[in-house]
Amino acid sequence: MTEARTAILERLSAAPAGGPPPLEDTAVMARRHWPAAERVVRLRKGMEAVRTEFLEAIPSDWPSVVQDFCDHEGIRNLLYGPGSNDGAALATAWDGEATLLPYDRPVEAFKTQLFTEVDAGFTSTVGGIAETGGILLMPGPAEPRLLSLVPPIHIALLRASTIQDSLWSAITNLGWGESLPPNALLISGPSKTADIEQTLAYGVHGPKRLIVVLVNDLR
């Protein structure tokens, strides 16, 4: 064990300073590329396979699509981030039966309400992944992580123009190769887990339903 440890430490000491060398051949990671319309189809196929639900909208009517869904499903309240652009737009246009609840305070101030009374949470996204199917979120002060984690229904707004070919494309185009965001999420569907008998259960440690409001803003 001592000889092996010594050999490892010697190899580390001999390694050049400054971290690993930069990647020179990224062709394998960048090989996936599709037209914008096909990216939408591929994302939907991948996410619907794991029980994600989609609502279709256009740029001018997505708030009413969210509102109609909440009214139809009997959702009593919807938690949202008033500090985000999409959250503010939703609040401005809201005329539904459900009550909008702003996430505008520390979680300690409304923990009981958040975990026992909130029916659904609304978030924006920064894009999607066509290759594997998934949406990208960047939680922060305007839209805290618990918005997409705690409520039993997660409603996410996705613009078709922001769907990337692959995770590699997203990392490259969003600038994450230079500076990673403090918090980034890739979500493919509602929360699910299986026991030892392989019985699949939804919503054990997250939302039971994921609703993606897909905004067709392609030209």
Q: Which residues contact 107 (CB under 8 A, 6 or more apart)?
A: 114, 144, 146
pLDDT at 18 exceeding the cut of 90: no
The rounded distance, in Å, linking the Cα atoms of 169 and 176 is 10
Whether residue 139 contacts residue 148, with contact meaning beta carbons closer than 8 Å, is answered with: yes
Q: Which domain holds residue 44?
A: 34-192+201-215
Taken in order 155, 151, 205, 138, the sign of the CA dihedral is: positive
Task: Please give the average per-residue pLDDT across 19-23, as a whole number.
Answer: 55
Residue 98 lies in a domain: yes
Residue 2 lies in a domain: no
Residue 186 lies in a domain: yes
Please tell me the predicted confidence (pLDDT) of residue 153: 98
Residue 17 lies in a domain: no
The rounded distance, in Å, linking the Cα atoms of 58 and 46 is 22
Looking only at the bridges linking them, the beta strands covering 99-102 and 77-80 are parallel
pLDDT at 24 exceeding the cut of 70: no
pTM of the complete model beyond 0.75: yes
Please tell me the predicted confidence (pLDDT) of residue 25: 56
The CA-atom distances, in angstroms, between 181 and each of 152, 163, 177 are 26, 18, 10
Amino acid present at 45: K
Q: How many separate domains does the chain show?
A: 1
Amino acid present at 94: W
Q: Which residues contact 64 (CB under 8 A, 6 or more apart)?
A: 93
Interval 62-87: pLDDT, tens: 999 999 999 999 999 999 999 999 99
Residue 8 lies in a domain: no
Interval 130-177: pLDDT, tens: 999 999 999 999 999 999 999 999 999 999 999 999 999 999 999 887
Please tell me the predicted confidence (pLDDT) of residue 200: 81
Taken in order 175, 178, 181, 186, the sign of the CA dihedral is: positive
